[in-house]
Chain A
């Protein structure tokens, strides 16, 4: 028994992406700058992983949570900034207490966090079920911040090295530009929407990095293959051809991955939703950058035309953007 699949893609259409590259690059540049501006002014809403403090995910055993009453009860404890956020279900809420400053340096400050957490647990009483508790002291939050930052840096470096090794350095630079573009814009969206940014979101960012490069590499791989094949074809046309050839695969893979992440986002508990959102947005922007950003930059940086021999015309043929 054999059944055929349906080829959705209009393979006879050639999208003139490279011809319109100025438009796309400008759009991307504007988005990038907007993101940088957002991050510089509003900044990221760091979770307790990076800020320290305590977090309680609660569920009321009797009907919806009275947030106002809860807030005044907790404020009376004198623990500094208390934030209460309602969740999707009315009986559920999220309580955040900022990092306690009191106590002597060293063990004292760490204990202060625990003491505050115990006070909150007592104040909540029997009518409230505490579904999840997280308490992070200053020592650990400092380390996590460092670790998160280093992780993203190392990942970018590792990827750059690999691409440099497998392709030429021009490909490496172009792909890193696309990657940084993706990461910064995703962070910008987080800043814009005020979404909480913690360790799991850093993990999403790293995954996004991997995925974005994944996409970009597929296009570059095709460009390299075509460079060997079509020695006479003008660079712009060659790149356009490469992008079009890989377009069907890029779209389909983005769709399947998007389906998977949407499932996580829809069905996941509060813990995982920030992560899923970062991935959804990341996939969209990763796909965009692979199609519309990476190649124009590669063109601009210039790429070696003659791949068959190590001969004379090694001068990279760059074109102005």
Chain B
């Protein structure tokens, strides 16, 4: 027993390498009972497998989505074993789910020469063989050698096409050198016998080998329609997914709703902008106009930063922009109300303006910073639409504070400087 354990343990490979150092092993051999040996993955080993699989899966998913010809898809990893796929402007959700959902592991197997699947089911499955169901359902099952002759990983190309004889949609494929060699050898030895093409553990077809296929290419036919051969070709070309993927969350917005949302957002933004503008001008006259200039510059700033960081504008994001318009004037309101108060207390206009800006500064910082905290928490813990809102809100607050003290101040100062008389009447 001891020697067996020792031998097994020597086979285990550590995770990591000479350069970065190793962080434990990926397998462990334990002895839960006196004459039982258990080989199992270590927690690190398991995690490593999942991480590697996720990485490979993301790449495969990316290739498949690219092959669909989508515009600017966003594919990111979330956590250890999740992938977030965002495809704007792409309508056919069902196709997207099919293309990235299918594992698409393709293998070519040898069919058992004597025993049929039925017999094996009744008696005993011979060693090294396995029963595979037909993808068709009505064609029955096949008894195939478990270890495949060639694998999908040896496929170098796969294209949709049409069968020359009966016009059915098919997928034509080509092997790499290794695959071509293995396939050629196998077909040369087995002329007149069938071999099975298996996709995701279901038998697609089991044609009989007419002649040795030495060129390393062939075609796959089944009961496919044109759309299906296109999808299968994409999946084969991009490689099989290392593990099956399950959809845990789906949000789809159809084109008509998307268009409606944009229109609604625009309307709301315009109406809000106009209403707030009118109000500010009515309440603060010329200075109200200045605050509007500040708000407009605000919006440009926000949009600019969003373009720079590549943030997507969602409907809640537009709501954030509209809200910013409403709240942005707050900073200016604080300043102007303060100026009015100082003048009521007897200060001369110029000094009232000066202290208005100075006194309001602290309050503006305090009040906007607390809203910013809320925005940042939202960004950190949120996802998708909530994040979009958090981005515009947070950027809006930063822009507001910035413009209140630069743009508004500049405009007011310029106006003061331009006054011809030394007796200035503030338009408040």
- A interface residues, Cβ below 8 angstroms from B: 1-8, 11, 57, 59, 107, 110-111, 114, 117, 121, 129-137, 139-140, 144, 147-148, 150-151, 154-155, 158-159, 162-163, 166, 199-200, 202-203, 206-207, 209-211, 213-215, 217-218, 221-222, 225, 245, 248-249, 252-253, 255-261, 263-264, 266-269, 271-272, 275-276, 279
- B363 partner, pick from A8, A218, A271, beta carbons under 8 A: A218
Are B333 and A256 neighbours in the complex by a CB distance under 8 Å? yes
Q: Within the assembled complex, what's the spacing in Å between the Cα atoms of A260 and B273?
A: 8
Q: Within the assembled complex, what's the spacing in Å between the Cα atoms of A261 and B359?
A: 29
Are A4 and B382 neighbours in the complex by a CB distance under 8 Å? no
B contact residues around A217 at 8 Å (CB)? 363, 366-367, 370
B contact residues around A203 at 8 Å (CB)? 316, 378, 382, 385-386, 389-390
Chief secondary structure at chain B's binding surface:
helix
Interface residues of B in 378-423 (CB under 8 A from A): 378, 381-386, 389-390, 393
- A5 partner, pick from B97, B283, B315, beta carbons under 8 A: B283
30 inter-chain pairs at a CB distance below 8 angstroms, sorted by A residue, are A1-B286, A5-B281, A6-B285, A129-B254, A131-B256, A132-B251, A133-B93, A135-B250, A137-B247, A147-B382, A148-B381, A151-B377, A151-B381, A155-B374, A207-B371, A207-B389, A217-B367, A245-B341, A248-B337, A252-B333, A256-B276, A256-B279, A257-B327, A258-B326, A261-B322, A264-B322, A268-B268, A269-B261, A272-B316, A275-B316
Are A162 and B369 neighbours in the complex by a CB distance under 8 Å? yes
- Nearest opposing residue in chain A for B248, CB measure: A137
B contact residues around A144 at 8 Å (CB)? 383
Interface centre among B250, B275, B288 (most CB of A within 10 A): B250
Is B164 part of the binding interface, using a Cβ–Cβ cutoff of 8 Å?
no
Is B151 part of the binding interface, using a Cβ–Cβ cutoff of 8 Å?
no
Are B371 and A211 neighbours in the complex by a CB distance under 8 Å? yes
**7 closest A-B pairs (Cβ-Cβ)?**
A260-B326, A210-B371, A5-B285, A210-B374, A257-B326, A263-B272, A5-B284
Is B7 part of the binding interface, using a Cβ–Cβ cutoff of 8 Å?
no
- Nearest opposing residue in chain B for A203, CB measure: B386
- Nearest opposing residue in chain B for A208, CB measure: B374
- B427 partner, pick from A2, A257, A264, beta carbons under 8 A: A2
1/0 per residue, CB under 8 A from A, across B246-286: the answer is: 11111111101100110011011101100110011111111
Are A6 and B283 neighbours in the complex by a CB distance under 8 Å? yes
Nearest CB of chain B from residue A50's CB, rounded to whole Å: 13
Interface centre among A134, A217, A218, A261 (most CB of B within 10 A): A217
Are B254 and A132 neighbours in the complex by a CB distance under 8 Å? yes
Q: Within the assembled complex, what's the spacing in Å between the Cα atoms of A256 and B283?
A: 11
A contact residues around B288 at 8 Å (CB)? 5
The answer to whether A5 and B368 touch (CB under 8 A), given A257-B323, A263-B322, A275-B316, is no
A contact residues around B334 at 8 Å (CB)? 218, 249, 253
The answer to whether A263 and B271 touch (CB under 8 A), given A57-B257, A252-B337, is yes
- Nearest opposing residue in chain A for B373, CB measure: A158
A contact residues around B375 at 8 Å (CB)? 206-207, 210
Nearest CB of chain A from residue B389's CB, rounded to whole Å: 5
- Nearest opposing residue in chain A for B79, CB measure: A143
Beyond the given pairs A2-B285, A59-B256, 8 more chain A to chain B contacts, judged by CB atoms under 8 angstroms and listed by A's residue number, are A6-B282, A135-B251, A200-B386, A214-B367, A221-B363, A221-B366, A253-B330, A261-B323
Are A199 and B382 neighbours in the complex by a CB distance under 8 Å? yes
- B interface residues, Cβ below 8 angstroms from A: 93-94, 97, 244, 246-254, 256-257, 260-261, 264-265, 267-269, 271-272, 275-276, 279-288, 315-316, 319, 322-323, 325-327, 329-330, 333-334, 337, 340-341, 344, 359, 362-363, 366-378, 381-386, 389-390, 393, 425, 427-428
Are B337 and A260 neighbours in the complex by a CB distance under 8 Å? no
Nearest CB of chain B from residue A92's CB, rounded to whole Å: 10
Nearest CB of chain A from residue B334's CB, rounded to whole Å: 6
A contact residues around B271 at 8 Å (CB)? 263, 266-267
Q: Within the assembled complex, what's the spacing in Å between the Cα atoms of A140 and B323?
A: 29
Are A4 and B428 neighbours in the complex by a CB distance under 8 Å? yes
Interface centre among B256, B268, B280, B383 (most CB of A within 10 A): B268
Nearest CB of chain B from residue A189's CB, rounded to whole Å: 19
Are B257 and A131 neighbours in the complex by a CB distance under 8 Å? yes
Nearest CB of chain B from residue A7's CB, rounded to whole Å: 6
Are A259 and B382 neighbours in the complex by a CB distance under 8 Å? no
The answer to whether A117 and B250 touch (CB under 8 A), given A213-B370, A259-B279, is yes
The answer to whether A154 and B381 touch (CB under 8 A), given A257-B327, A259-B275, is yes
Q: Within the assembled complex, what's the spacing in Å between the Cα atoms of A225 and B315?
A: 41
- Nearest opposing residue in chain B for A133, CB measure: B252
- A135 partner, pick from B249, B316, B341, beta carbons under 8 A: B249
B contact residues around A1 at 8 Å (CB)? 286
Are B315 and A150 neighbours in the complex by a CB distance under 8 Å? no
Q: Within the assembled complex, what's the spacing in Å between the Cα atoms of A133 and B251?
A: 6
B contact residues around A139 at 8 Å (CB)? 248
Chief secondary structure at chain A's binding surface:
helix
- Nearest opposing residue in chain A for B247, CB measure: A114
B contact residues around A252 at 8 Å (CB)? 283, 333, 337
Are B373 and A162 neighbours in the complex by a CB distance under 8 Å? yes
- Nearest opposing residue in chain A for B340, CB measure: A7
A contact residues around B325 at 8 Å (CB)? 260
Q: Within the assembled complex, what's the spacing in Å between the Cα atoms of A7 and B343?
A: 13
- B250 partner, pick from A5, A114, A166, beta carbons under 8 A: A114
Nearest CB of chain B from residue A155's CB, rounded to whole Å: 4
Q: Within the assembled complex, what's the spacing in Å between the Cα atoms of A276 and B377?
A: 20
- B316 partner, pick from A11, A151, A200, A260, beta carbons under 8 A: A200
Q: Within the assembled complex, what's the spacing in Å between the Cα atoms of A132 and B389?
A: 19
- Nearest opposing residue in chain B for A271, CB measure: B315
Are A256 and B280 neighbours in the complex by a CB distance under 8 Å? yes
A contact residues around B367 at 8 Å (CB)? 213-215, 217-218, 221
Nearest CB of chain A from residue B300's CB, rounded to whole Å: 18
- B333 partner, pick from A200, A253, A267, beta carbons under 8 A: A253
Are B366 and A264 neighbours in the complex by a CB distance under 8 Å? no
Nearest CB of chain B from residue A80's CB, rounded to whole Å: 18
Nearest CB of chain A from residue B53's CB, rounded to whole Å: 14
Nearest CB of chain B from residue A265's CB, rounded to whole Å: 8
Nearest CB of chain A from residue B246's CB, rounded to whole Å: 4
Are B252 and A137 neighbours in the complex by a CB distance under 8 Å? no
Nearest CB of chain B from residue A211's CB, rounded to whole Å: 6
Q: Within the assembled complex, what's the spacing in Å between the Cα atoms of A166 and B287?
A: 30
The answer to whether A256 and B326 touch (CB under 8 A), given A131-B257, A267-B268, A271-B315, is yes
Interface centre among A7, A154, A260, A266 (most CB of B within 10 A): A260
The answer to whether A279 and B323 touch (CB under 8 A), given A154-B377, A200-B385, A256-B330, is yes
Nearest CB of chain B from residue A130's CB, rounded to whole Å: 6
A contact residues around B272 at 8 Å (CB)? 259-260, 263-264
